[in-house]
Amino acid sequence: MQLDFNSFNSIAFGRKYEGHWLENTNGIKAFVSNYGARLVALYTPDKSGEFADIVLGFNTLNEYMSGHPFFGVTVGRCANRIAKGKFDLEGETYQLNQNNYPNHLHGGPNGFHNRIWMIEEAEKQHVEMSFISPDGHEGYPGKLKTIVRYELNDNNQLKISYQAATDKTTIVNLTHHSYFNLKGEGQGDILDHQLKINGDYITPVNQHQVPDGHLKNVAGTPFDFSGFDAIGNRIKDCDEQMVIGHGFDINYVLNSRLHEFAADVYEPSCGRAMRVYTNQPGMQFYTGNFLDGSDIGKSGKRYYKYSGFCLETQHFPNAINEDDFPSVILKPEETYEYEVIYEFYTVN
């Protein structure tokens, strides 16, 4: 099976859908769609030089439009959960869609992931898109203009950067939501992947998966990836936080920003490896715990539990309601800036 390129380049209901290939001089390729500003495919080499698509997703635009668990999308206006979908800002209370009842999740059902972005510039190694979210979109205040840039450089880095500006004080917490499997999408689970995370603390959650406001040191817990370890060695642990998330679904407090890695992961059998850098304070590590086989991927195989993992760099969940968390408030005189870098290499 292969991507139906034409399906991502069409006009339907008066809206223009566009897809664009990126390729560097080393043969790494990425396919990006303006529907949800999403990464649809990403081909990287293994230790033998064989290329495979390492992100979960579909072959056609119609499959994405039929619903999915945020495969490859840009998430906004506010990623992760907001408790009860409610927050106060400058003396006003805002009620958002409780699409992950009782919480608001990933910008709501008609958030950035479900909108058509305008392609502003497209070249061989980068593409830039924009989206204007009107005042009141999914309940958020202010008109917000967002620009996303995907760049695939010759250092085998896929850089994703966002800039946003508002005409009224609002909240912003964007993230990229690809599900990775370094063996190749549809090639089984990710339990043998070796992972290292540069974060000494997590933000523990309650039964509704909302942080309780304090930080917890990962030492002595299944969340301690200070050294490489297989994801599958910890995923069945009976730790309360693992039970709540049905596996890994937790925000890490990162030790550093951009100059040092946030996470490092490799798959021993094929040798594909990926290092993550970001300027964000947190990273949600998620292991596809709710994939149930209902989604058929690009290789024609069903995606079951643990078929992919996400490393979503972002601000902390429910930050707007926790004064001690880094702020997600954006004012008209400010510019929101985000960057995540996925760097690909191989190990023997």
Cα 59 to Cα 288: distance, rounded to the nearest angstrom: 20
Q: Is 312 a catalytic residue?
A: yes
Cα 221 to Cα 133: distance, rounded to the nearest angstrom: 41
Instruction: Annotate 108-150 with DSSP letters as a single string.
Output: -TTSGGGSBPEEEEE-SSEEEEEEEEPTTGGG--S-EEEEEEE
The catalytic residue among 63, 138, 151, 312 is: 312
Enumerate long-range contacts of 115-122, CB under 8 Å, 24 or more apart. 115/35, 115/36, 116/15, 116/16, 116/17, 116/34, 116/35, 117/34, 117/35, 117/36, 117/37, 117/74, 117/148, 118/34, 119/18, 119/20, 119/34, 120/147, 122/20
Helix ranges, the chain (H)? 61-65, 240-245
Torsion sign over Cα 206, 193, 38, 159: positive
The catalytic residue among 177, 185, 267, 315 is: 177
Active site residues: 177, 312
